Amino acid sequence: MIAHLRGTVAGVAPDGAVIEVGGVGMRVQCTPGTLATLRLGESAQVATSLVVREDSLTLFGFASDDERNVFELLQTASGVGPRLALAMLAVHAPDALRRAVSTEDLNALTMVPGIGKKGAQRIVLEMKDRLGPPGDDGAGLPGRAAPRVPSWRDQVQSGLVNLGWPARDADQAIAALEDEGVIGGSGGDAVDVATVLRAALRKLSRQ
């Protein structure tokens, strides 16, 4: 298993990045939150999970080991494959998912595109004893501050900047999407960051 990659960020796209390791460009599928931590031309390290299929080998990259571990655990639930697990982590941080499952917060889980009420109920039933309670990543230990999870706006702006757009243009595109009613929800967890990032890219490309 490839546990992590460390190398130079050679490319960034809305759904993933290319990290050059020893002269070889490794493509990794990532959440917008992970992409927001990557800078083109700079050194980076991502925790990884390799998904093997008959016709493909797909590498998924994460900002932390905890995020990677939750990604792999989620796939042990019925009907949850790597794409849906990645979508869950694009909408919710690992600890937010633990909280949603432990408190049976179906509304939080159905914010993820592809998860309906029945699917959310199944995930709660199957994952309640597997994910563990919130704080299992160690962020809740005394003397250790929990890391700030970037808001959806921070993630979208960082993703656009990583793709070469000026921060001012990125902010204007996000504001325009809000004015047009494209962005739904009033809180960060209610917004599908990947969808907003793609919509912002389409708007910027037409300018």
Domain with CATH 1.10.150.20 in the chain: 66-131
Residue 14 binned pLDDT confidence (cut-offs 50, 70, 90): confident
- Is 66-131 in CATH node 3.40.50.720? no
Domain with CATH 1.10.8 in the chain: 152-205
CATH among 2.60.40, 1.10.8, 1.20.140, 3.30.2000 for 152-205 = 1.10.8
How far, in Å, CA of 147 to CA of 50, rounded? 26
| pLDDT recorded at residue 114 | 86
Mean pLDDT within 182-192: 56
Residue 138 binned pLDDT confidence (cut-offs 50, 70, 90): very low
How far, in Å, CA of 193 to CA of 153, rounded? 8
| pLDDT recorded at residue 187 | 43
Residue 149: is its pLDDT beyond 60? no
Q: Which of 20-24, 63-67, 138-142, 164-168 has the weakest average pLDDT?
A: 138-142
Q: E strand or H helix at 160, and its extent?
A: helix 152-162
Q: Which of 80-84, 105-109, 117-121, 187-191 has the weakest average pLDDT?
A: 187-191
Residue 97: other Cβ atoms inside 10 A = 26
Which fold is adopted by the domain 4-62? OB fold (Dihydrolipoamide Acetyltransferase, E2P) (2.40.50)
How far, in Å, CA of 155 to CA of 165, rounded? 14
Domain with CATH 2.40.50.140 in the chain: 4-62
Mean pLDDT within 108-118: 89
What are the residues whose beta carbons fall under 8 Å from the beta carbon of 12, sequence distance 6 or more?
Answer: 18, 35, 38, 40, 159, 162, 163
